[in-house]
A and B are shown apart, each in its own frame.
Chain A
Amino acid sequence: MRKTQITIINRRGLHARAAARLITLASKFESEIILSNNEKRANGKSILPVMMLAAVQGTLLELTANGHDEDRAIKELVALIENRFDEAE
């Protein structure tokens, strides 16, 4: 199991489109992927729970991946978040 913490830096936070990109990427991995924001936990492959984390700009998220491709999953998900979901804002 791999775990890391990452801050949401894009202006609109984990809004709908960003959440869509995140879960689309997460769904490519076989590992189980969990995002948590304090007490709230969300399946990283499920759009509504991810949106309901209400992760606005500046939110510190914990990202957990568990499975044979967990290293790659964490690396690519972190890159997506750091790249502000590849979007113009």
Chain B
Amino acid sequence: MSILLTGIGVARGIAIGKAHLLLCEAPEIVEYRLPNDLLEKEVRRFDAALEQARSHLQTIRNHLPISTPADVAAFIDIHLLMLEDSTLSQVPIDLIRDSHCNAEWALKQQRDNLVQVFEAMDDPYLRTRKDDVDQVVNLVQRVLMGKSLGWENGANRLRGLIIVAEELSPADAVFFFHEGIAALITERGGPTSHTAILARSLDLPTIAGMRRARQFIADGDTIILDGRQGVALVDPDARALQHYHQRRQEQRLHFAALIQLRNIPATTRDGRRVRLMANIELPEDIEELNEVGAEGVGLYRTEFLFMNRNTAPDEEEQFAIYQSLVQAMNGRPVTIRTIDLGADKPFAGITLGHIATNPALSLRGIRLCLRTPQLFIPQLRAILRASAFGPVRMALPLITNSAEIIQVRHLLDQVRRDLRHEGHSFDENLSLGGIIEVPAAALTISELAHHLDFFSLGTNDLIQYTLAIDRIDDQVSYLYNPLHPAILRLIYIALRAGIKANIPIAMCGEMAGDSRFTRLLIGMGLQELSMRPISLPEIKQVINTSVYTPLAQLARRVIYARDSSAISVLMEKINANL
């Protein structure tokens, strides 16, 4: 009999394969005593196992896909550092020598000691670091017990299988990926875990948070997995199998076709044009932007220029970067967001000496820019000077009231006078806009509109501030819901006010690049979406197969829907045939 299991879809794609369960992660360890003359041999066996574990992780580190985010790679580096740490590399050796025990037992003793310390910690985040200890220790135990780590033989005995595990380390995920597995299911974890981020960059269909999956799935069961919906059908019947084989085939063709959309504009079937822009963090990202055919830069996050260094980049350095970006875009607009750093985003060279009790509500975004003119003025000058080379729009982060914008306008007037005086050229009509990411700004957009030329909705922060949740906090991350009626109404209020004030409103948050929301957003009236380049072809595909007029009506019904379940029903209608 088929059973349907649900979890959190963290990496899209349909996979069909046989289940391979990873059972007890902690192997059974037995203790035995060694005679004196075998102790040094045991020590050497332990050293060799450490070395093999290190080289295993190193190999995985070298096989990470180029698109792997730096923090995932850092995670593997942490495991390598742990293997180097004398706490794990030397203490067990002392134990072998002192208590004449086998290497596995010595390592287990030390692991228990370490885990005990972590488990006693008050901080929930630090407490879960015991998982890192376990992952590293288990790797060494596997070697000690003569289990192959599999990497070197390339036997691909896992090819086509769907791995079902309690939790995987990112290193395991990379390893399994290279073994050719079809998909992953984990009982723990969520959309922001390292393994989830990695699965997305590997394009490996993955479901996380499928509780007790290993109780319902047996080794060898056939599974159909839909990594977008977060559902797995165990032991499907012939009809379901046929249906999904077909869906999988369609999906493969679909991804291949997407890239060919590059030179086609995004237009609904009834002719409504939507501009698709790219969010970039570094000037290098422009290559990817061109590959997917973005129409401009909708958000350039300049704070990355300020991170990982000891002094802030000066005006000339910033000018050179902005200028080359504007020139490379060759007439397409570049939206430069001024430094969006603050109490929660550290940066080199600047120490405010202020510990915010609540960084998200403290000195950040435009507040920080206005507080640190030594940073802000050089950036304003550099952006203005770059505007002489092509269309530039300047966006201010975290605005909440007009006074902030008036202050920026005053500074800009001063900077313009200085630049003119110094003989620099710039665009006299440079557009100034604001990122709407605080409910206060969304609700008063018509007042802010008197002072600005455009807006962009930053949905990530808008959702966090509106719903009062920190989405990297596992305890409340389940409440992060872009379709919460409050979010939809705020967006709608902002869009309507924008139309009234005749001021364009774009969206640059993650919602803009999530194809589940595209039809709703264009139905609500958005005509400019900015997203990570990788999402762009799919969003374009969705727009080009949509019809605006009925979506506009459905979107209105979503906004006035009674509750979340009514919204879900309407969303299914909106996304029909997608």
A and B held together in a complex = yes
Do the beta carbons of A20 and B81 come within 8 Å of each other?
A: yes
Q: How many residues of A contact B (CB 8 A)?
A: 33
Q: How many residues of B contact A (CB 8 A)?
A: 34
Do the beta carbons of A15 and B351 come within 8 Å of each other?
A: no
Q: Say if the beta carbon of B114 comes within 8 Å of chain A.
A: yes
Do the beta carbons of B125 and A15 come within 8 Å of each other?
A: yes
| Interface stretch of the complex, out of B82-90, B260-268, B492-500, B520-528 | B82-90
Tell me what chain B mostly uses at the interface: helix, strand, loop, or mixed: helix
CB contacts (< 8 Å) of B126 on chain A: these are: 13, 15, 51, 54, 56
Do the beta carbons of B74 and A82 come within 8 Å of each other?
A: no
CB contacts (< 8 Å) of A46 on chain B: these are: 85-87
**Given A9-B355, A46-B87, are A52 and B345 also a contact pair (CB < 8 Å)?**
no
Q: How far is the CA of A49 from the CA of B122 in the complex (A)?
A: 17
Do the beta carbons of B348 and A83 come within 8 Å of each other?
A: yes
CB contacts (< 8 Å) of A17 on chain B: these are: 71, 74-75, 78
A67 to chain B, nearest CB (A): 18
Within 8 A of A (CB), among B53-78: 71, 74-75, 77-78
Do the beta carbons of A88 and B78 come within 8 Å of each other?
A: no
Q: How far is the CA of A84 from the CA of B346 in the complex (A)?
A: 6
Within 8 A of A (CB), among B293-332: 307-308, 310
Set A7, A52, A86: member contacting B307, Cβ < 8 A: A86
Do the beta carbons of A82 and B351 come within 8 Å of each other?
A: yes
Set B75, B117, B359: member contacting A11, Cβ < 8 A: B359
B94 to chain A, nearest CB (A): 15
Q: How far is the CA of A12 from the CA of B125 in the complex (A)?
A: 8
Do the beta carbons of A47 and B85 come within 8 Å of each other?
A: yes
Q: How far is the CA of A47 from the CA of B87 in the complex (A)?
A: 9
Q: How far is the CA of A68 from the CA of B82 in the complex (A)?
A: 27
> Chain A, 46-79, contact with B by CB distance < 8 Å: what is the 0/1 string?
1111011010111000000000000000000001
Do the beta carbons of A48 and B355 come within 8 Å of each other?
A: no
B545 to chain A, nearest CB (A): 36
Do the beta carbons of B121 and A48 come within 8 Å of each other?
A: no
Q: Say if the beta carbon of B46 comes within 8 Å of chain A.
A: no
Q: Say if the beta carbon of A87 comes within 8 Å of chain B.
A: yes
> Chain A, 2-19, contact with B by CB distance < 8 Å: what is the 0/1 string?
000001011111011101
A41 to chain B, nearest CB (A): 13
Most chain B CB atoms below 10 A, which of A51, A56, A83, A86: A51
Q: Say if the beta carbon of A39 comes within 8 Å of chain B.
A: no
CB contacts (< 8 Å) of B86 on chain A: these are: 43, 46
Q: How far is the CA of A51 from the CA of B78 in the complex (A)?
A: 11
Q: Say if the beta carbon of B455 comes within 8 Å of chain A.
A: no
Do the beta carbons of A20 and B77 come within 8 Å of each other?
A: yes
Q: How far is the CA of A10 from the CA of B355 in the complex (A)?
A: 9
CB contacts (< 8 Å) of A52 on chain B: these are: 114, 117-118
Do the beta carbons of B359 and A48 come within 8 Å of each other?
A: no
Do the beta carbons of A48 and B346 come within 8 Å of each other?
A: no
A58 to chain B, nearest CB (A): 7
Q: How far is the CA of A83 from the CA of B341 in the complex (A)?
A: 12
Do the beta carbons of B123 and A89 come within 8 Å of each other?
A: no
Q: Say if the beta carbon of B347 comes within 8 Å of chain A.
A: yes
CB contacts (< 8 Å) of A85 on chain B: these are: 346
Do the beta carbons of A86 and B129 come within 8 Å of each other?
A: no
Do the beta carbons of B82 and A48 come within 8 Å of each other?
A: yes
CB contacts (< 8 Å) of B132 on chain A: these are: 16
Q: How far is the CA of A89 from the CA of B360 in the complex (A)?
A: 11
Q: Say if the beta carbon of A34 comes within 8 Å of chain B.
A: no
Most chain B CB atoms below 10 A, which of A7, A48, A54: A48
Q: Say if the beta carbon of A25 comes within 8 Å of chain B.
A: no
Do the beta carbons of A83 and B85 come within 8 Å of each other?
A: no
CB contacts (< 8 Å) of A49 on chain B: these are: 85, 87
Do the beta carbons of B71 and A86 come within 8 Å of each other?
A: no
CB contacts (< 8 Å) of A11 on chain B: these are: 344, 359
B512 to chain A, nearest CB (A): 20
Q: Say if the beta carbon of B133 comes within 8 Å of chain A.
A: yes
CB contacts (< 8 Å) of A24 on chain B: these are: 81
CB contacts (< 8 Å) of A84 on chain B: these are: 346
Do the beta carbons of A20 and B345 come within 8 Å of each other?
A: no
B93 to chain A, nearest CB (A): 15
CB contacts (< 8 Å) of B88 on chain A: these are: 48
Quick one: closest A residue to B132, CB to CB?
A16
Q: How far is the CA of A12 from the CA of B344 in the complex (A)?
A: 10
CB contacts (< 8 Å) of A9 on chain B: these are: 355
CB contacts (< 8 Å) of B71 on chain A: these are: 17
B281 to chain A, nearest CB (A): 10
CB contacts (< 8 Å) of A23 on chain B: these are: 81
Q: How far is the CA of A58 from the CA of B357 in the complex (A)?
A: 10
Cβ contacts A to B, 25 pairs, < 8 Å: A13-B125, A15-B125, A15-B129, A17-B78, A19-B78, A20-B77, A24-B81, A43-B86, A46-B86, A47-B82, A47-B85, A48-B85, A48-B133, A51-B118, A56-B122, A58-B355, A79-B310, A83-B351, A85-B346, A86-B308, A86-B346, A86-B347, A88-B307, A88-B345, A89-B359
Kindly list the 10 A-B residue pairs having the minimum CB-CB distance in the complex, ordered from nearest.
Answer: A84-B346, A48-B87, A47-B81, A56-B123, A54-B121, A20-B78, A86-B308, A89-B344, A88-B345, A16-B78
Given contacts A16-B132, A84-B346, 14 further A-B contacts (CB under 8 A): A11-B344, A13-B123, A15-B125, A20-B81, A43-B86, A46-B85, A48-B85, A54-B121, A58-B355, A86-B307, A88-B307, A89-B344, A89-B345, A89-B346
